[in-house]
Copies of this chain bind each other. A is one copy, B any other.
Amino acid sequence: MTTICLVDTTFARVDMASHAVEVLRSLMPDARIVRRTVPGIKDIPVEMKRMIEEFGCEGGMTFGWVGPSLVDKIAYAVYSLALQLVQLEAGIHVIDVTVHEDEAETEDELYRIAVDRARKHAENLYYLLRQPERLAEMAGTGRRQGRPDVGPITV
């Protein structure tokens, strides 16, 4: 049985993980999905590491929400690097779904970005785990999550 581990935060303003769970359940009905919530993004890496050790996750997703200030971006960089360390140590993919508040002008748009990014990255995790050839077909084709695909540059 495949185990997939998710970590999200109480800081985020959209419940992205629920959307990801929905997609993952439809694509991998046989998978066990384990989900934990922590206060903020800097609490995610160690929680993911603990889950990997406890549940033996084959893949993971994290859901972050980042403010617009320099300090927010520093926190994101630190979080993101720590998540790389967790992945490298465990040897598994943990896809980071992060929304930055300065990505959009309105709350509506932020919401749409968050949901779309969570759902598309849940698909991506499925491809990584079960259908890597689908990703291979899309190599260099300008796929985006949270936004419409931009497509490949054709010359």
Binding site for B on A (CB under 8 A): 8-18, 35-39, 42-43, 45-47, 49-50, 53, 63, 66, 70-71, 73-82, 84-89, 91-96, 100, 107-108, 110-112, 114, 121, 124, 128, 132, 135-136, 138-145, 150-153, 155
Contacts and interface: CB of A to CB of B under 8 A. Distances in A.
A155 B106 CA distance: 11
A124 to B, nearest CB: 4
Given A76-B74, A86-B88, A151 B13 contact: yes
A63 to B, nearest CB: 8
20 contacts: A9-B140, A10-B142, A12-B142, A14-B140, A14-B153, A16-B140, A17-B140, A35-B136, A37-B132, A39-B95, A39-B143, A42-B96, A45-B84, A46-B91, A46-B92, A70-B73, A82-B88, A84-B85, A108-B153, A114-B153
Q: How many copies does the complex hold?
A: 5
Q: List 5 A-B pairs, minimum CB-CB distance, nearest first.
A: A15-B140, A82-B84, A10-B143, A10-B138, A46-B87
Contact of A81 (B16, B82, B100): B82
A80 B76 CA distance: 11
A75 B82 contact: no
Nearest to A145: B39
A129 to B, nearest CB: 12
